[in-house]
Amino acid sequence: MCQTDEVPRAWTEKWRKARKDHKCIACRESIRSGHRYHYSSGIWENRPADFKHCARCWRIFSFLVKESNNLEGVQLDLDCGEVLENPPETIAELAFMRGHEVADEMERAMTKAEKLKLCVGCRNNFYNGNNDLGVKECWSLQDATVVNRWRIGWWAPQDSKANFSKVKTLDCHHAPGSYAQYAQLPDHLGGEKP
């Protein structure tokens, strides 16, 4: 299963959002600006190195690490010439997806905790356990998806693009009396999408 003998002396990893285009070390596809990718770095025999994986290849890599029970059991570029027999369906379906499609899917499939952070300010956040009625979750939370919107305060005139700010929020978020959110700017300001 893509075994390697080299073990890094130090290792760090995190998800990042690309500010420019990168190339995935495994599939060599482009990681487009604005998409999430997995960044990892380490030190091997006093030589530092860093790696960028598209969301698809990182999911495959993570699965293989879990299967082998250690990080050093899998080559970072996934190029070992072996074939994984009978992979689980969730891994097999990745073969038919592009890296950016998996990244888009990850954006939409946020954890419940991540979604709850975007609920702050919404009038229905009251139902996310912020009450003494015993109601634990807003009825919209489970199916909510992340969207980009233009936000403007109710008090602000809609005569200038400068009065609007781009925000990432949930499609069900609403805060009457505080601000309005638009999928695109009003026509008289060009109708631009966030």
Same domain, 100 and 116: no
Mean pLDDT of all residues in 67-89: 69
3 inside domain: no
Query: Are residues 103 and 167 both part of a single domain?
Result: no
Residues 20 and 104 in one domain: yes
Q: Which residues of 92-124 are buried (b: 16+ CB within 10 A; e: fewer)?
A: eebeebebbebbeebbeebeeeebbebbeebeb
| Chain segment 95-152, per-residue pLDDT in tens | 777 766 776 666 655 677 788 888 998 989 999 888 899 999 998 887 787 788 999 9
Q: Packing angle between helix 99-108 and helix 55-68, nearest 10 degrees? A: 80
- Asked whether the beta carbons of 149 and 182 are under 8 A apart, the reply is yes
Q: Which domain holds residue 116?
A: 112-189
Is the domain of 103 the same as that of 153? Answer: no
Q: Report the domain count for the chain.
A: 2
Amino acid at 126: F
Task: Select from 80, 108, 136 the last residue of a domain.
Answer: 108
One domain for residues 16 and 53:
yes
With cut-offs at 50, 70 and 90, classify the pLDDT of residue 3: very low
70's CB contacts (< 8 A; 6+ apart) are none
From residue 25, how far is each of 5, 31, 45, 76, 179 by CA, in Å? 19, 10, 20, 8, 43
- Same domain (yes/no): 128, 172: yes
CATH code of the domain covering residue 72: 3.30.1740
Look at residues 108, 133, 158 and tell me which one is the last residue of a structural domain.
Answer: 108
> Which tokens go with 162?
């400068």
Indicate the residue among 108, 140, 156 that finishes a domain: 108
Highest mean pLDDT among 3-17, 24-38, 59-73, 107-121: 24-38
Q: Which residues contact 119 (CB under 8 A, 6 or more apart)?
A: 125, 128, 138, 141, 170, 173
4 lies in a domain?
A: no
Does the residue 73 lie in any domain? yes
In a domain, 2, yes or no: no
Rounded-to-integer distance, Cα 160 and Cα 190, Å: 10
- The answer as to whether 128 is a domain residue is yes
With respect to residue 29, please indicate whether it lies within any of the assigned structural domains. Answer: yes
Which amino acid makes up residue 63?
A: F
Q: Are residues 137 and 178 in the same domain?
A: yes
C-alpha span between 157 and 32 (Å, rounded): 36
Residues 95 and 14 grouped into a single domain: yes
pLDDT tens across 18-46, in order? 899 999 998 888 988 888 888 988 887 88
17 and 65 co-located in one domain: yes
Per the CB < 8 A criterion, the answer to whether 94 and 43 are in contact is: no
